[in-house]
Amino acid sequence: MHTNVNKSRWPECSGRSATIPSIIRGATHDNARFVFILEMAFPTQPSGLASRVLPQRDEEAFHLAWTNWDKRAPGQRLNAEKEGYALVFSTEILRAVENGHIRPEHARKAFEVMLLTGHRESDLQRDAKNPRSSATGIFQQTKAFHERSPLNPLSAREIPLTVDQRMDVATAATLFLRQLAHTQRWDEMMIHDASYQVQKFHPKDMHRFKDPDITREVICLGGALFPRQLSMIDNAIYSNEDRARLGFPSASPSTCIVS
């Protein structure tokens, strides 16, 4: 298993360290008060059971799976920068596990929901902006996105999110995970329904989040990065027919190439 990001492969993420609170990275003087308040919700040292059972990431297998997705779908422009953003998601998931917001055995499920959402909302572009609303960043979060989750302290919820905060992938991922963790029984839902509960996008857009081709790739990548963990499509709400349609039954665990 490999748990450290290869910084030479993803230069955009080379400054990210597991020892530096994610919410602080990318902070500016203007949003320093928000950063300080929000960071206080995270303990600086993991404690309890979660700290002993952090799930392991296989980043080499993930890279192989990502590369093969790019080959299958060249129009998606799945470059190294986007691959790095996906790994930032996983780093923030581990941080959420450390702090008791996400159960260790749900790391893969959380990653699948995040990757599907980021792909459908912004094509995994950090600087995406919606010209018709305040939606910004990789998850198209609004300036009031953080107000719904009580995992964000009240003093932080009273401060609107800045564009810089929403365009910082680690910050956006932290806020996404806090909303996901606040969603009751999200880990038992269909993947697109879990995404909806976090994002509250317009129902007319649901078909985009149900796209079976994108869902299949997300499931593949989740299994490559977090091996031996259950997927969202393992939930009882999915039928065996659904699993056959959305899975890669003849695939290698690292590449998901159907033989």
State the pLDDT confidence band at 95, using cuts at 50, 70 and 90. very high
Please give the average per-residue pLDDT across 51-78, as a whole number.
85
pLDDT in tens, 156-183: 888 999 999 999 999 999 999 999 999 9
Map the chain to HEC letters: CECCCCCCCCHHHCCCCCCCCHHHCCCCHHHHHHHHHHHCCCCCCCCCHHHHCCCCCEHHHHHHHHHHHHHHCHHHCCCHHHHHHHHHHHHHHHHHHHCCCCCHHHHHHHHHHHHHHHHHHHCCCCCCECCCCCCECCCCECCCHHHHCCCCCHHHHCCCCCHHHHHCHHHHHHHHHHHHHHCCCHHHCCHHHHHHHHHCCCHHHHHHHCCHHHHHHHHHHHHHHCCCCCCHHHCCCCCHHHHHHHCCCCCCCCCCCCC
pTM score of the predicted model: 0.81
Residue 91 in any domain: the answer is yes
Average of per-residue pLDDT values in the chain: 81
Range of the domain at 103: 18-58+82-213
Number of structural domains, the chain?
1
Between 228 and 110, the higher pLDDT residue = 110
> Which CATH number fits the domain that encloses residue 104?
1.10.530
Residue 248 in any domain: the answer is no
Residue 134 in any domain: the answer is yes
Residue 191 in any domain: the answer is yes
Residue 113 in any domain: the answer is yes
Residue 200 in any domain: the answer is yes
Residue 72 in any domain: the answer is no
Residue 252 in any domain: the answer is no
